[in-house]
């Protein structure tokens, strides 16, 4: 081989190494621009507050701004579908409910499969859903609410954060098992559902944003949707104290479009896991009486897949597709 040929080969090899290094550096620099975190519910809701508090902590770890975008509608399906259809580059994510997402899929408002058509990044939060009335209500406990509903079938109304909400699913099951008929009034977010109750638009409420209003004396919780009594509220009954219910507590998880690169997935997971230890998130958990509940990417995806069959059975048994 001539000296010139050897020189050419050497230059090509050096160039390839340099290009590879530059490529690796570019990948390592994610994120290079702001990230959008879609919340498929209205501002002021529990899920919105969780998303914003986690975004504050995660953006410090990532070194880029995370912009929260409230894209509401169709029980959370519009915002979730939007994220699922975005490029798999890590710049568009969604904070979604572990139960509303499958319910939207069953009702066909979400066309993407909850387990197979998204990248599951992290589970962060579990909630305490409750049935609550205004503090000036004549109804003092859940037994009185059930009795009032029996005496007034299809007259009493209740608010939730939407058709595909966890509060709706659990209330529908509790009503069916209790033999009562109540009228569901869906709102766009838990915050709006609470406002509906406080302003007298409905008789009671079933969702997750009740805790701050209980603390300031405006709401009275009658029932917590859990499988055992809460250590924080031991005097408030759970459905199994009255009926043979299969409560779906629900939680929040961060997802992205299907096919996120492994390095991007890991970086996002690590940033949001770190954010779970930050003061903003801890304050939000305390304010809404939530629970910090961690699952990694694979465990989050597996939990989503495992939830589909029992949720489908509840969905079909309760006739929620006809709602």
Q: What is the pLDDT of residues 34-55, one digit of tens each?
A: 999 999 988 888 899 999 999 9
What pLDDT is stored for residue 314 in this prediction?
A: 87
65: Cα separation from own chain's centroid: 21
Q: What is the pTM of this model?
A: 0.82
- The answer to which of 146-155, 160-169, 278-287 has the lowest mean pLDDT is 160-169
User: Cα(158)–Cα(196) distance, rounded to whole angstroms?
Assistant: 9
Tell me the mean pLDDT in the region 102-116: 95
Tell me the mean pLDDT in the region 81-102: 97
In this prediction, what percent of the chain has a pLDDT beyond 90? Answer: 72
Tell me the mean pLDDT in the region 209-215: 90
Continuous H helices in the chain: 3-28, 46-62, 77-84, 100-106, 142-151, 166-178, 190-198, 211-215, 262-275, 279-287, 297-317
What pLDDT is stored for residue 58 in this prediction?
A: 98
In this prediction, what percent of the chain has a pLDDT beyond 70? Answer: 90
Cβ within 8 Å of residue 257, ≥6 positions away: 83, 84, 85, 86, 87, 88, 92, 118, 119
Exposure string of 126-137, with b = 16+ CB inside 10 Å and e = fewer, is bbbbbbbbbeeb
Asked if the model's pLDDT at residue 14 lies above 80, the reply is no
What pLDDT is stored for residue 209 in this prediction?
A: 85
What pLDDT is stored for residue 20 in this prediction?
A: 45
What pLDDT is stored for residue 73 in this prediction?
A: 86
The pLDDT tens digits of the residues spanning 172-183 come to: 999 999 999 999
Query: Average pLDDT of the chain?
Result: 90
Name the pLDDT band for 10 (thresholds 50, 70, 90). Answer: very low
User: Cα(114)–Cα(105) distance, rounded to whole angstroms?
Assistant: 7
User: Cα(269)–Cα(112) distance, rounded to whole angstroms?
Assistant: 22
User: Cα(128)–Cα(210) distance, rounded to whole angstroms?
Assistant: 9
Name the pLDDT band for 200 (thresholds 50, 70, 90). Answer: very high
What pLDDT is stored for residue 28 in this prediction?
A: 54
Go through the chain and tell me how many residues it has. Answer: 323
Top-ranked range on mean pLDDT: pick from 216-230, 252-266, 286-300: 252-266
Query: For residue 77, how many other CB atoms are within 10 A of its CB?
Result: 25
What pLDDT is stored for residue 29 in this prediction?
A: 87
Tell me the mean pLDDT in the region 126-147: 96
């Amino acid at each position: 081989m001539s000296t010139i040929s050897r020189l050419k080969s050497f230059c090509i090899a050096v160039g390839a190494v340099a290009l590879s290094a530059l490529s690796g550096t570019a990948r390592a620099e994610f994120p290079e621009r702001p990230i959008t975190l879609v919340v498929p519910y209205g501002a002021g809701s529990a899920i919105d507050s969780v998303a914003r508090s986690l975004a504050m902590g995660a953006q410090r770890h990532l070194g880029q701004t995370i912009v929260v975008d409230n894209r509401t509608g169709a029980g959370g399906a519009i915002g979730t579908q939007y994220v699922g259809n975005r490029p798999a580059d890590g710049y568009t994510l969604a904070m979604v409910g572990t139960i509303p997402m499958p319910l939207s899929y069953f009702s066909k408002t979400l066309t993407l499969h909850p387990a197979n058509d998204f990248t599951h990044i992290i589970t962060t939060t579990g909630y305490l859903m409750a049935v609550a009335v205004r503090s000036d209500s004549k109804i003092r406990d859940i037994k009185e609410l059930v009795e009032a509903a029996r005496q007034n079938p299809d007259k009493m109304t209740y608010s939730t954060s939407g058709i595909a909400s966890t509060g709706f699913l659990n209330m529908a099951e509790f009503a069916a098992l209790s033999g009562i008929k109540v009228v569901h009034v869906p709102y766009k977010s838990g915050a709006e559902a609470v406002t509906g109750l406080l302003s007298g638009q409905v008789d009671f409420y079933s969702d997750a944003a009740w805790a701050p209003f209980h603390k300031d004396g405006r709401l009275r919780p009658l029932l917590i949707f859990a499988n055992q009594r809460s250590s924080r509220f031991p005097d408030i009954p759970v459905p199994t104290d009255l009926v043979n219910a299969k409560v779906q507590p629900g939680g929040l998880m961060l997802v992205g479009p299907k096919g996120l690169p492994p390095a991007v997935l890991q970086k996002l997971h690590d940033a949001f896991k770190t954010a779970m230890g930050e003061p903003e998130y801890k304050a939000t958990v305390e304010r809404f009486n939530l629970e910090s509940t961690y699952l990694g990417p694979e465990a989050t995806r597996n939990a989503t897949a495992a939830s589909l069959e029992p949720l489908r059975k509840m969905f079909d048994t309760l006739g929620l597709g006809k709602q």
